[in-house]
Amino acid sequence: MNIFRTKDVSLRQTEMRRHLKLWDLILLGIGAMVGTGIFTITGTAAATLAGPSLVVSIVISALCVSLSALFFAEFASRVPATGGAYSYLYAILGELPAWIAGWLTIMEFMTAVSGVASGWAAYFKGLLSDYGISMPQALNGTFNPEQGTYIDLLPILVLTLVTGLVLLNSKAALRFNSLLVILKFSALALFILVGIWYIKPENWSNFAPFGFGQIYGGSTGIMAGASLMFFGFLGFESISMAVDEIQSPQKNIPRGIVLSLTIVTILYALVTLVLTGIVHYSKLNVDDAVAFSLRSIGIGWAANYVSLVAILTLITVCISMTYALSRMIYSLARDGLLPQSFKQLSKTSRVPKNATILTGVASAIAAGVFPLASIAAFLNICTLAYLILLAYGIIKLRKDKGMPKEGEFKTPLVPLLPILSILICLSFMLQYTKETWIAFGLALLVGLVIYFTYGYRHSTLSEEE
């Protein structure tokens, strides 16, 4: 049994249409990253983990993500293939490590879509409550019989809508996504421009109330905040998963990743500083933190605008990640590691039909049943695990194939930066609770069972052998 057999998956013939330009990729990345992290998680993380020093947590998270982005950029330039880290590792480390990365990517994007849908529902409920409207108790929260809630209906409804949009046509879905991203920027710009006049410096006086925390095994502090805010940057890798539909992928993927990540980091830092400046961090443990802070200073019209835009534009993250996840499942099916039905393309729009439907159904179930905090921690630990594999993969890529050629992206300071990335990812992983680790272990076990009972035997490499 050769579980480390490799496969060159770069620039294979694709049945999809190459129509996406650099601008489309930047908006795809921003659409994926700017969502629940900035509208919801910033408030929770400031209130419970880091206080105003959450801005430092954001910089640390951004540095960690930036390291991984460099690795993605070099892989995308040298091994351009659908499937992101999965395809890169298939060519370098072999089938089993690639499958693990692919499976963890599925877990990441599925739970990310679920988490964003939950954040969207929180904003929608906040807006409805202003008009005295509420959902029936049984349909108004994740499964918790003690509180009389059994399923959260609103996230399920929005994911049904998103799945339908992504099934229509990838170009149309991303054009709609781009319009909503621009609208989202208008709301955040309004928040910054209005909120900056209401900042009270005394709210920053106790800048790091929980301290720096611990590098390994902490539960509060700047490092714990960084491990949670990592959630806010996830989605940049969705760009590399659209390679089959990108014009000049070897040039445009690295540019799209770097530019979108830079824009999002600046935006997160500004919003966090204003947020903790106008409201004391201890009051921010709410699901609609940005709108809540505006209401707390009596600017209801701006709060309602932010809520309305959040309701509309959190959908962009669902679109971006549903789009990326369906392409991930398509890649695995095309290589035989998942059933062939998931690589079927619709006749007119040429999108992976069954993979998109599976993505929508699984994400809707998770959003309707599991609470947002649990979703965010599980998502992060899955992502950090496969980013460790990717960091090792870049070292192996240099060892096996040498330095990048002229015109290809080059990650600086290899192997120093990959080793640093591995240490930071391990530090973040060890900030999570035992329950999160158990969920991660069970998910990994399920993935291994699928590979050894189905994937290994049906892999296209098995057929060739």
Residue 191's pLDDT is 92
The domain containing residue 139 runs over which residues?
A: 22-454
Q: Lowest mean pLDDT of 94-108, 158-172, 302-316, 408-422, name the range.
A: 158-172
Mean pLDDT, rounded, for 196-212: 91
Q: Which residue has the higher pLDDT, 279 or 464?
A: 279
Residue 303's pLDDT is 87
Mean pLDDT, rounded, for 252-270: 84
Residue 271's pLDDT is 92
Q: Which two tokens stand for residue 166?
A: 């992504």
Residues with Cβ within 8 Å of 453's Cβ and at least 6 positions away in sequence, in order, are none
Mean pLDDT, rounded, for 215-244: 74
Statement: residue 11 has pLDDT above 60:
no
Count of alpha carbons within 13 angstroms of residue 459, beta-carbon side: 23
Distance of alpha carbon 227 from alpha carbon 390, whole angstroms: 18
Do the domain assignments include residue 3?
no
Statement: residue 371 has pLDDT above 70:
no
| φ/ψ (deg, to 5) at 9 | -110, 10
Do the domain assignments include residue 139?
yes
Q: Lowest mean pLDDT of 112-116, 148-152, 278-282, 307-311, name the range.
A: 148-152
Statement: residue 316 has pLDDT above 80:
no
Mean pLDDT, rounded, for 327-355: 82
Average pLDDT, the chain: 81
Residue 244's pLDDT is 59
Number of structural domains in the chain? 1
Residue 443's pLDDT is 92
Statement: residue 417 has pLDDT above 90:
yes
Identify the CA nearest to 89 among candidates 326, 330, 260, 335. Answer: 335
Residue 169's pLDDT is 63
Indicate the burial class of 308 (C-beta count within 10 angstroms; 0-12, 13-18, 19 or more): middle
Residue 428's pLDDT is 84
Q: Lowest mean pLDDT of 11-25, 79-93, 375-389, name the range.
A: 11-25
Residue 454's pLDDT is 94
Q: Answer yes or no: are the C-beta atoms of 415 and 360 closer than 8 Å.
A: no
- The confidence band for 257, taking pLDDT boundaries of 50, 70 and 90, is confident
pLDDT digits (tens, 9 = 90+) for 29-50: 777 777 666 777 788 889 998 8
Residues with Cβ within 8 Å of 121's Cβ and at least 6 positions away in sequence, in order, are 152, 154, 155, 158, 367
Do the domain assignments include residue 465?
no
Q: Answer yes or no: are the C-beta atoms of 89 and 97 closer than 8 Å.
A: yes
Do the domain assignments include residue 133?
yes
- Tell me the CATH number at 74: 1.20.1740.10
Identify the CA nearest to 212 among candidates 203, 202, 222. Answer: 222
Q: Which residue has the higher pLDDT, 365 or 140?
A: 365
Distance of alpha carbon 454 from alpha carbon 449, whole angstroms: 8
Q: Which residue has the higher pLDDT, 176 or 272?
A: 272
Residue 246's pLDDT is 62
Residue 141's pLDDT is 63
Statement: residue 355 has pLDDT above 90:
no
Residue 30's pLDDT is 79
Cα dihedral sign, 318-321-323-327: negative
Residue 166's pLDDT is 75
Residue 170's pLDDT is 58
Cis peptide before 371 (omega within 30 of 0): no
Distance of alpha carbon 171 from alpha carbon 167, whole angstroms: 11
Residue 125's pLDDT is 77
Give the 3-state secondary structure of the chain. Answer: CCCCCCCCCCCCCCCCCCCECHHHHHHHHHHHHCCHHHHHHHHHHHHHHHHHHHHHHHHHHHHHHHHHHHHHHHHHHHCCCCCCHHHHHHHHCCHHHHHHHHHHHHHHHHHHHHHHHHHHHHHHHHHHHCCCCCCCHHHECCCEHHHCECCEHHHHHHHHHHHHHHHHCHHHHHHHHHHHHHHHHHHHHHHHHHHHHHCCHHHHCCCCCCCCCCCCCCCCCHHHHHHHHHHHHCCHHHCHHHHHHECCHHHHHHHHHHHHHHHHHHHHHHHHHHHHHHCCHHHCCCCCHHHHHHHHCCCHHHHHHHHHHHHHHHHHHHHHHHHHHHHHHHHHHHCCCCCHHHHCECCCCCCEHHHHHHHHHHHHHHHHHCCHHHHHHHHHHHHHHHHHHHHHHHHHHHHHHCCCCCCCCCCCCCCHHHHHHHHHHHHHHCCCCHHHHHHHHHHHHHHHHHHHHHHHHHCHHHHHC
Do the domain assignments include residue 462?
no
Q: Which two tokens stand for residue 104?
A: 């963890």
- The confidence band for 201, taking pLDDT boundaries of 50, 70 and 90, is very high
Q: Which two tokens stand for residue 298?
A: 């009596």
Statement: residue 314 has pLDDT above 80:
no
Residue 198's pLDDT is 93
Share of residues in the chain with pLDDT > 70 (%): 85
Torsion of CA 142, 145, 149, 153, to 10 degrees: 50
Statement: residue 2 has pLDDT above 90:
no
Statement: residue 100 has pLDDT above 90:
yes
Mean pLDDT, rounded, for 12-21: 56
Residue 245's pLDDT is 61
- C-alpha distances (whole Å) from 74 to each of 257, 284, 397, 400 are 11, 39, 10, 14
Do the domain assignments include residue 8?
no
Do the domain assignments include residue 6?
no
Do the domain assignments include residue 4?
no
Residue carrying structure tokens 């069972």: 449
pLDDT digits (tens, 9 = 90+) for 284-298: 888 778 888 998 888
pTM for this model (two decimals): 0.79
